[in-house]
Amino acid sequence: MHIGMFNKYRISLITTALLFAGACSEQGPNVSDVDNEQTLSVERSVGFDGDIIRLGVIANLSGPGSALDRARLTGVNAYWSDINASGGVGGRYAVELEVLDHGGNPEVAEELVPGLLDEVVALTFIDETAMGAVHPFLVEGQVLGVAPTSTLDWESDPRFLTHSPPVEAVVLALFENSPSSKWCVITDGSPLGVGVRNSASGAARIAGAQSVTLIKVDEDLNAAILAAACEHVLVEVSEKFQEKLVASIPASRTVFRQAGLTDPMVHRSDLQFAYIDSGPAWHVDAAAGMRPFLASLLRHAPDAEPDTRMRDGYVSQIRLHELLERAVRGRDLRRLTVFEAAQTHARIEMFGLAEDVDMSLEQLSLPREMSIRIKVAEEDELDGRDWKLERRLRPQNFASLADEILD
């Protein structure tokens, strides 16, 4: 069965490399110890023709709610453009992105991903809509995929590379921090929404939260929140529901949203927006990786406003990049080799943009820390998004929740 219209195209970053090589003093994070003058001969394999490493992207770039993936892909493109500008992976091999635009339809992704996987070393970006459709093909081919967000399922699956806290950990941390508050949890049917909804009851019990009301996004949100008398509203819905959501919430509530999934321009003056952020503040000295990241945005998206979605796209590439660097050093870019290295790799530095990842430890460092940032005006110590750090959270009883969910 052929499904509708779709776009599949290649983003060549080689031209970007030629434009910026030698002209830029700030490059992306250098995670390679390879001497650029050293000649590394790597055997050809799927997705690697001896000169170019091809990586796949599966995203919604044209359908409803496509602004999210377009923002995140700005960060992805900026990252690999800078790697190419500095000589490529291993100082020698350029990267090209093969992009599949499913337009918000997971059936399109399911139909076309086999062809994409015939052409790439790994999937460097899989959006949440396509995750379920793509997963069986990753299992069959033992191919790695980069997830820009995280659920407990994705975190525990060896096929996915993640960098942010699982949404279930976010729910637990919020409930542990304010167990006496009245919470409303609004979700949709997306993978992240389902993860939040399925974990909320267990998280409330473990945290001792006194009042948690689950609400689906297609309900009358205003009436449901008023009936529950909620003070705090945790939201996990896809971008296509954001306008309805923001318009429907009664005044004088604190609304918790994931920073990496949120349009920074959406606001209401009678609501307090609290953003769950897994990265540092938005200024140049907040972390070692912020200076090269902001310099990269200035080169590749000079008109972009501060947007956590772009940074999440950029940061999501660091783990895969380092695995490719190590594969080049080992002269073996076969997909199975890269996949196996992802299961046992030693510490990968994330340059303060996320927590470092070390898969060689017996006890993995989970869950990751998160920050709660409040959007305010005319205050000192704001970052570039007009956000002020309110508190940092790390769930205390995540192992109990994880055991319950995975069992």
pLDDT tens string 36-62: 445 568 999 999 999 999 999 999 999
Q: Is 16 exposed, middle or buried (0-12, 13-18, 19+ CB in 10 A)?
A: buried
Start-to-end CA distance of the chain, whole Å, equals 37
| Sign of the CA dihedral running 278, 280, 283, 289 | negative
pTM, rounded to two decimals: 0.90
CB atoms within 10 A of CB 358: 14
Please tell me the predicted confidence (pLDDT) of residue 330.
Answer: 94
Residue 1 pLDDT exceeds 70: no
Q: Which CATH superfamily is domain 7-165+284-344 in?
A: Response regulator (3.40.50.2300)
Q: Which CATH architecture has domain 167-277+369-406?
A: 3-Layer(aba) Sandwich (3.40)
Please tell me the predicted confidence (pLDDT) of residue 361.
Answer: 80
The mean-pLDDT minimum among 144-158, 256-270, 345-359, 389-403 falls in: 256-270
Mean pLDDT score, 82-100: 96
* Cα distances (Å, whole numbers) of residue 170 to 14, 147, 397: 39, 17, 12
Residue 35 pLDDT exceeds 50: no
Residue range(s) in the chain whose domain bears CATH number 3.40.50.2300? 7-165+284-344, 167-277+369-406
139: pLDDT confidence band, cut at 50, 70 and 90? Answer: very high
What gap in Å lies between CA 124 and CA 334, rounded to an integer?
15
- The 3-state DSSP class for residue 218 equals coil
Element (H, E) at 374: strand 370-375
Residue 161 pLDDT exceeds 80: yes
The mean-pLDDT minimum among 100-104, 237-241, 303-307 falls in: 237-241
Please tell me the predicted confidence (pLDDT) of residue 288.
Answer: 97
Q: What digits encode the pLDDT tens for the residues 180-207? A: 999 999 999 999 999 999 999 999 999 9
Mean pLDDT score of the chain, rounded to an integer?
89
Mean pLDDT score, 160-186: 96
- The 3-state DSSP class for residue 319 equals helix
